[in-house]
Amino acid sequence: MPFVYSRTIRFQDTDAAGVVYFANVLSICHEAYEASLAAAGIDLKTFFSGSEIAVPIVHASVDFFKPMFCGDLLAVHLHTTQTKASEFEIHYRLFGDSNLEKALSQAVTRHVCIEVKTRSRYSLPNFMHEWLHHWADNQTAAASPLTD
Amino acid sequence: MPFVYSRTIRFQDTDAAGVVYFANVLSICHEAYEASLAAAGIDLKTFFSGSEIAVPIVHASVDFFKPMFCGDLLAVHLHTTQTKASEFEIHYRLFGDSNLEKALSQAVTRHVCIEVKTRSRYSLPNFMHEWLHHWADNQTAAASPLTD
Amino acid sequence: MPFVYSRTIRFQDTDAAGVVYFANVLSICHEAYEASLAAAGIDLKTFFSGSEIAVPIVHASVDFFKPMFCGDLLAVHLHTTQTKASEFEIHYRLFGDSNLEKALSQAVTRHVCIEVKTRSRYSLPNFMHEWLHHWADNQTAAASPLTD
Amino acid sequence: MPFVYSRTIRFQDTDAAGVVYFANVLSICHEAYEASLAAAGIDLKTFFSGSEIAVPIVHASVDFFKPMFCGDLLAVHLHTTQTKASEFEIHYRLFGDSNLEKALSQAVTRHVCIEVKTRSRYSLPNFMHEWLHHWADNQTAAASPLTD
């Protein structure tokens, strides 16, 4: 079961071509990530201010299959996969309200846990493991030996 | 009774000072405007693509009383006031989840209805009157004779 | 003499109505503010991370006279006015490349200097006085007694 | 020789972690793309309003090697590669002012030319060929037979 985030496309998301500006699709995915963290009881203000550890994004990619318009209601489906002791990926599929068969867009973000002071890799803390487990796509996870 | 729009502050809304970037507060107000239009059954895609008439913003102002942080849940209270046959204002008050007595921020946007082809003023259409009436702050409206 | 900041309108600045999204005009003004600080030798990274003092915006307003399109080259004219020992305003006028007589838009931001720890008002430091003086609109400044 | 676009990191580009928000790196790349089109004499307003043909982005990816801070001056290096008669890729490398040896970030966007009315693929027009040739990374282009 993925985490599902509902999101209406806003005027601000669009550009002069009349559809969502490409980079904003990744921002909408990041909102889904934030919502999934909050649903796991993680305090977003503390988490994203990153005082001791942080999990910056090291890679992102996104595919666009169909344009999205102002007022469209999206369902963002989110899956997690731990790829190393200090690293995980999030996979997103964005569906229109009326069609859950064919995604409008899909994206991936890869995150690495670091100690802020040294900026070196750091094993993911327990509260992140719980969040990762909850939304894990098991088959993908099984294929990844958790070593750095 | 105002229209109330619930909105969680997202990481993207913030800046390097750790709080919501000032201009994004106006974007959040505009989201509340869009939600109030949708609640009145107005199709946002058609409305904002402005093929025949449009209601561009001619003025906006915003006051900041307290900073807002990632993860904060806001309640945006929205009131409308028709100021001329072709013009209206929207007043916004943004409250934190835990305190409905003192606003974190307040804002105003003034909108003028125009015919897109000529860009000259045009009386607000009926569907906008219905929306305006629904969320009107009556006392303010009473003070405004509706002439251009 | 105002500070002049040149800025091309980007696709990202626009919305589905085909013109610059209203709140982005304030962001463009803030870019001009940042450029004027950098021109005075102020380090932006340190200044905006606000470790000891900060100058958050407490009020902003903006008027829109003509729409701006992707690719348009703007000249943003910036004037400063110190209004109190701990407070200043910046006035912006945005002109199209081809017409310096009639502004496309104008805006104001009001900033208050605070001590970050206590969030109480704090007199503007010397390096800000130098910046303020350099771009001050003298006539406006003369009308403002500098008391809090 | 790549096209080089100079860009100062603005406060608005940053987030509460104190560095550029990940999706904004792609927006900065798109600005470089726009600047390269304008340098080739292409009218951006007409190009991006897409009345007859349009070249929407169908894929984007980005890698983050080092964080970027407010005030940092970037040099975005842009290369083009035509991959099909109706398709091209743009490769971007973002360098800090002081170090042209190790990129801070790199990105790719893939664009498909379509006829707007039917949304079906359409061969790239001549003015796009000229732009593509000018900034082409020849070795990459040679590997791509131009068939759809």
The verdict on residue C148 lying in a domain is no
Q: Which residues contact residue B46 at a Cβ distance below 8 angstroms, ignoring those fewer than 6 apart?
A: none
Tokens 């009157």 belong to: B129
- The per-residue pLDDT of chain C, averaged, comes to 92
Query: pLDDT tier at C101 (50, 70, 90 boundaries)?
Result: confident
Lowest mean pLDDT among A29-38, A75-84, C65-74, D42-51: D42-51
* CA-based nearest distance A18→chain C, Å: 4
Per DSSP, what are the bridge partners of residue D7?
Answer: D74
- Which contiguous run of DSSP H or E holds residue B46? helix B44-49
Q: Which residues contact residue B117 at a Cβ distance below 8 angstroms, ignoring those fewer than 6 apart?
A: B52
The verdict on residue D146 lying in a domain is no
pLDDT of residue D50: 74
**Count of domains forming chain A:** 1
pLDDT of residue B141: 44
**Chains linked to C by 3 or more Cβ pairs within 8 Å:** A, B, D
The verdict on residue C147 lying in a domain is no
User: Residues of A with catalytic annotation?
Assistant: 15
Q: Which residues contact residue C143 at a Cβ distance below 8 angstroms, ignoring those fewer than 6 apart?
A: none
pLDDT of residue C138: 65
**Contacts A–B by Cβ distance under 8 A:** 58
Per-residue model confidence as pLDDT tens digits over B90-116: 999 999 977 788 999 999 999 999 999
The verdict on residue A147 lying in a domain is no
Mark which residues 70-99 of A lie under 8 Å from D by CB: none
pLDDT of residue C97: 79
Find, among A79, D30, B110, the residue nearest to C61 by Cα: B110
User: Residues of B with catalytic annotation?
Assistant: 15
| Mean pLDDT, residues C69-94 | 97
The letter for the amino acid at A113 is: C
- pLDDT of A140 strictly over 60: no
Query: Which residues from chain B sit within 8 angstroms of residue A27, using beta carbons?
Result: 10, 12
List, in sequence order, every beta strand (DSSP E) within D41-86.
53-54, 57-64, 73-84
Domain boundaries, position B35? 3-139
- The per-residue pLDDT of chain B, averaged, comes to 92
Picking from A27, A35, A72, the nearest residue to B12 by CB comes out as A27
Structure token pair of residue B67: 């900073």
The verdict on residue D144 lying in a domain is no
Lowest mean pLDDT among B142-146, C18-22, D47-51, D83-87: B142-146
The verdict on residue C56 lying in a domain is yes
**Closest chain C CA to residue A68:** C16
Give D129's DSSP letter: H
| Mean pLDDT, residues D60-70 | 97
Task: Please name the residue ranges forming H helices in chain C.
Answer: 22-39, 44-49, 126-134, 138-142
- pLDDT of D17 strictly over 50: yes
- pLDDT of D142 strictly over 70: no
Picking from C45, C70, C71, the nearest residue to D70 by CB comes out as C45
Query: pLDDT tier at A122 (50, 70, 90 boundaries)?
Result: very high
Contact at CB, C49 and D18, closer than 8 angstroms: yes
Picking from D19, D24, D63, the nearest residue to A59 by CB comes out as D63
Burial of residue B147 (CB within 10 Å: 0-12, 13-18, 19+) is exposed
D15 counts as catalytic: yes
Q: Which residues contact residue D117 at a Cβ distance below 8 angstroms, ignoring those fewer than 6 apart?
A: D52
Query: Which residues from chain C sit within 8 angstroms of residue A12, using beta carbons?
Result: 15, 21, 23
- Beta strands across the sheet bearing A53-54: A53-54, A114-115, A120-121
Tokens 């990619």 belong to: A61
pLDDT of residue D147: 52
| Mean pLDDT, residues D2-16 | 96
Cα torsion B17, B22, B23, B28: sign: positive
- pLDDT of D94 strictly over 90: yes
Whole-number Cα distances in Å, A51 to A47, A109, A116, B30, D135: 8, 22, 7, 33, 42
- pLDDT of D126 strictly over 80: yes
Contact at CB, B60 and C23, closer than 8 angstroms: yes
Tokens 């889904």 belong to: A32
pLDDT of residue B147: 52
Whole-number Å distance between alpha carbons of C75 and C100 = 9
| Mean pLDDT, residues A51-78 | 96
| CATH number, position A132 | 3.10.129.10
Structure token pair of residue D104: 């801070």
- pLDDT of D145 strictly over 60: no
Over pLDDT 90: what percentage of chain C?
83
**Closest chain C CA to residue D71:** C44
| Mean pLDDT, residues A29-49 | 95
Q: How many CB atoms lie under 10 A from the CB of residue D16?
A: 25
| Mean pLDDT, residues C109-129 | 95
Grouping H, G, I as helix, E, B as strand and the rest as coil, residue A96 is strand
| Mean pLDDT, residues D105-111 | 98
What is the bridge-based pairing of β-strands C120-121 and A3-8?
unpaired
Grouping H, G, I as helix, E, B as strand and the rest as coil, residue C121 is strand
Picking from C11, C16, C70, the nearest residue to A18 by CB comes out as C16
Mark which residues 8-67 of A lie under 8 Å from C by CB: 11-12, 14-19, 21, 23
* Whether D55 contacts A86, CB under 8 Å: no
What is the bridge-based pairing of β-strands C73-84 and B114-115?
unpaired
* CA-based nearest distance A71→chain B, Å: 5
- pLDDT of C27 strictly over 80: yes
Per-residue model confidence as pLDDT tens digits over C28-62: 999 999 999 999 999 999 999 877 899 999 999 99
| Mean pLDDT, residues B15-44 | 96
- Which site among A8, A9, A10, A12 would you substitute to test the C interface, given the most C Cβ atoms closer than 10 Å to its Cβ? A12
pLDDT of residue B21: 98
Per-residue model confidence as pLDDT tens digits over A10-26: 999 999 999 999 999 99
Q: Which is more confident, C97 or C48?
A: C48
Q: Which is more confident, C131 or C49?
A: C131
Contact at CB, C15 and A12, closer than 8 angstroms: yes
Per-residue model confidence as pLDDT tens digits over B38-69: 999 999 999 998 778 999 999 999 999 999 99
CA A67 centroid distance within chain: 20
Q: Which is more confident, C138 or A9?
A: A9
Over pLDDT 70: what percentage of chain B?
93
The verdict on residue A66 lying in a domain is yes
Per-residue model confidence as pLDDT tens digits over D26-45: 999 999 999 999 999 999 99
pLDDT of residue C98: 75
Contact at CB, C16 and A12, closer than 8 angstroms: no
The verdict on residue C110 lying in a domain is yes
- Which site among D9, D19, D20, D21 would you substitute to test the B interface, given the most B Cβ atoms closer than 10 Å to its Cβ? D21
Q: Which is more confident, D36 or B147?
A: D36
* Whether A114 contacts A53, CB under 8 Å: yes
